[in-house]
Amino acid sequence: MTTLPARTLRQIVGAPSTPAPLDKAVLVLIDLQREYTDGALRLSGVDAAVERAAELLELARANGVPVIHIVHHTAAGAPVFDPTGPLAEILPAVAPRDGEPVIVKKLANAFAGTELQTVARDSGRTEMIVAGFMTHNCVSSTARSAVDHGWRVTVVASATATRDLPDGRGGVVPAADTQRGVLTGLSDSLAVVVEDAGAWEKIPSLPRGEG
């Protein structure tokens, strides 16, 4: 049997492999909250991921990309994402500026039960850049839903993170394995996956903001 070289479905059908043009994109930052740095859900490599997210945010702002911040809230007094406590706060490095909407979600998919689709469409953009936490849960769910809602999606890998997870059979799946698997799945048919904000520096037609 001949073994064919590994190719994504996107490669097979000839889908574009370049990240979203900044002049056509909206940036959605998902759940960049203290729960993931200081709470019960601290993620593997989270500090570096926050730095990469901050760089991505800086790139977006410098080039006039609309930014939408997503936060997850549960019930007051809940073990995680208690909206009345400090751990639900957005991290200072990626804090919203005036005019940048903050959308509260209750489910993993940031489109579910929220105004995300309306706010994003009102920006006049057609492509969506996604980053945030956790890769296997809210990032994956939102990226998949974005495709269903008609967006072409770019996921910035190093600006996402996850954690070690029980495998349901008494073992543990390392965060790095989950991270790689989820991003691989997204890149197969649903999204362009790039490493970091530097991906846009490789595009000759990158629009330059005045900072």
| Per-residue model confidence as pLDDT tens digits over 82-126 | 999 999 999 999 999 999 999 999 999 999 999 999 999 999 999
Overall domain count for the chain: 1
| Per-residue model confidence as pLDDT tens digits over 181-201 | 999 999 999 999 999 999 998
Closest CA to 17 of 169, 157, 153, 165: 153
In a domain, 44, yes or no: yes
In a domain, 3, yes or no: no
Cis peptide before 128 (omega within 30 of 0): no
Active site residues: 31, 105, 138
125: containing domain: 19-199
In a domain, 192, yes or no: yes
CATH number for 144: 3.40.50.850
What pLDDT, on a 0 to 100 scale, did the predictor assign at position 4?
81
pTM of the predicted model, to two decimals? 0.93
In a domain, 204, yes or no: no
In a domain, 5, yes or no: no
In a domain, 209, yes or no: no
In a domain, 31, yes or no: yes
Distance (Å) of CA 68 to CA 26, 53, 163, 172, 180: 8, 13, 24, 34, 26
Closest CA to 136 of 185, 206, 92: 185
In a domain, 2, yes or no: no
Q: Is 66 helix (H, G, I), strand (E, B) or coil?
A: coil
**Alpha-carbon span 65 to 159, nearest angstrom:** 17
| Per-residue model confidence as pLDDT tens digits over 44-61 | 999 999 999 999 999 999
